[in-house]
A = this chain, B = another copy of it.
Amino acid sequence: METISENRSFGGVQGVYRHASNTCGCDMTFAVYMPPQAEDGPVPVLWYLSGLTCTHENAMAKAGMQEHAAEHGIALVFPDTSPRGDNVANDEAYDLGQGAGFYVNATRAPWKTHFRMYDYVVNELRDIVVKQFDVQDRHGITGHSMGGHGALTIAMRNPDLFESVSAFAPIANPTQSDWGRKQLSAYLGDDESAWADHDATLLLEDKGWKGDILVDQGQADQFLDLLKPDALAEMMARRRQPGTFRMQKGYDHSYFFVNSFAGDHVAWHAERLQ
């Protein structure tokens, strides 16, 4: 593991690291924020999965989560959103290929060689973070848009590995959306039965979540038709899923929205992780 940069931030350290990923078959870059409390012993971990087109860098620079992580004493992990490199398959569209891994393990050519972001986050990077950083093996997960989809689906499929889950404007019902059908078809093939494991609304119906869920959605989000928060909210209510779904007046899909509620989410995870 190579250190790209380390910057002091709110008394802790915001680092960026690169490693050769066996899962993705390419070098992967990720960011970890270690709060000042880590000097006194291992801290729990909150994962933040980013959205389409993002790298590890967007939320690290713009979500303002370090301040809250330092207040509550939890580490943050910001993975990339896909494998990358000249040898990695890509598509000219912003929403397929590099920057758009959708947190699945692709089974179809040309994607299956490298696009294994589900295994990468759940297994490989999780092992690295637990072994290389002074953290507890105790994890919460959140994310924005495609990353909100990733957080919800990964948590519900792995209740033994994650203690808490929340999402900012998640792609909530991708099997019924153009943010989903295109990608799941490309990565997993046209048999839609393979898609259900990657749809938060369907997983909620099938499995639910052991704890409570926090979802924030901007009321003025320009992508409401693609995100389909109504499906998730309806399923949360229908399944009597403990949790909170907040429709936030006037907020759009940008990082100004994420930033505005980052403090709530970090505090919420911290309460459940500590």
> Could you tell me which A residues sit within 8 Å of B by CB distance?
7-11, 14, 61-62, 64, 66-67, 218, 220, 248, 250-252, 254-257, 259-260, 263
Contact = CB atoms under 8 A, between A and B. Distances in A.
Contact of A256 (B14, B62, B220, B254): B14
B10 A260 contact: yes
Copies of this chain held together in the complex: 2
A217 B257 CA distance: 30
Contact of A8 (B64, B251, B263): B251
A64 B64 CA distance: 6
A267 to B, nearest CB: 13
A259 B66 contact: yes
Query: Looking at A14, A254, A256, which has the most chain B CB atoms within 10 Å of its CB?
Result: A256
Please report whether the interface of chain A is mostly helix, strand, loop or mixed according to DSSP: mixed
5 contacts: A8-B251, A9-B256, A61-B62, A66-B260, A67-B259
Contacts of A254: 7
Contact of A257 (B8, B252, B257, B263): B8
A145 to B, nearest CB: 15
Contacts of A64: 64, 67, 259
A132 B69 CA distance: 37
Given A62-B61, A62-B62, A66-B259, A252 B7 contact: yes
A260 B9 contact: yes
Contact of A263 (B9, B61, B67, B248): B67
A248 B62 CA distance: 22
Given A14-B256, A62-B62, A8 B67 contact: no
